[in-house]
């Protein structure tokens, strides 16, 4: 993904981020006791509908973590507001 990021919270960071990958592990529980009765050996990478990894982005400056889209949108909004107004 080549879209620019801007942290939507501190709005000062465009460069240093962590990508947070989500892993899913299937479990089954006993509904009465809450005991976990099955736990898959495999961790599965969570993907979005388009097949790309479902990642969050974390700002390394203020620590905020949220959906990748919110960082992309913040960068786009910021670009627009930097254009001269007619
Ligand atoms: Zn930030």
Mean of pLDDT values over 56-84: 91
- Spacing, Cα 45 to ligand 1 middle (Å): 26
Structurally, the chain folds into a number of domains equal to: 1
Report yes or no on 75 lying in a domain. Answer: yes
Report yes or no on 2 lying in a domain. Answer: no
Whole-prediction pTM value? 0.73
Q: Tell me the β-bridge partners of 19.
A: 57
**pLDDT tens track for 5-28:** 999 999 999 999 999 999 999 999
> Two tokens at 33?
């006791």
Which residues have their alpha-adjacent CB atom under 5 A from ion ligand 1?
7, 9-10, 13, 59, 61-62, 64
Report yes or no on 10 lying in a domain. Answer: no
- Spacing, Cα 60 to ligand 1 middle (Å): 7
Report yes or no on 8 lying in a domain. Answer: no
Alpha carbon distance 82, 86 (integer Å): 12
Q: What pLDDT, on a 0 to 100 scale, did the predictor assign at position 79? A: 81
Report yes or no on 77 lying in a domain. Answer: yes
Report yes or no on 64 lying in a domain. Answer: yes
Are residues 19 and 86 in contact, defined by beta-carbon separation less than 8 angstroms? no
**pLDDT tens track for 33-69:** 999 999 999 999 999 899 988 899 999 999 999 999 9
Q: Which residue range(s) make up the domain with 68?
A: 17-82
């Amino acid at each position: 993904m080549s879209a620019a990021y801007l942290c939507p919270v501190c709005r000062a960071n465009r460069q240093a981020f962590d990508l947070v990958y989500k892993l899913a592990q299937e479990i089954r529980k006993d509904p009465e006791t809450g005991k976990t009765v099955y736990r898959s050996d495999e961790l599965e990478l969570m993907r979005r509908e388009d097949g790309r990894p479902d990642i969050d982005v974390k700002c390394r400056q203020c620590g905020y973590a949220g959906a990748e889209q919110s960082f992309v949108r913040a960068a786009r909004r910021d670009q627009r507001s930097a254009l001269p107004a007619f």
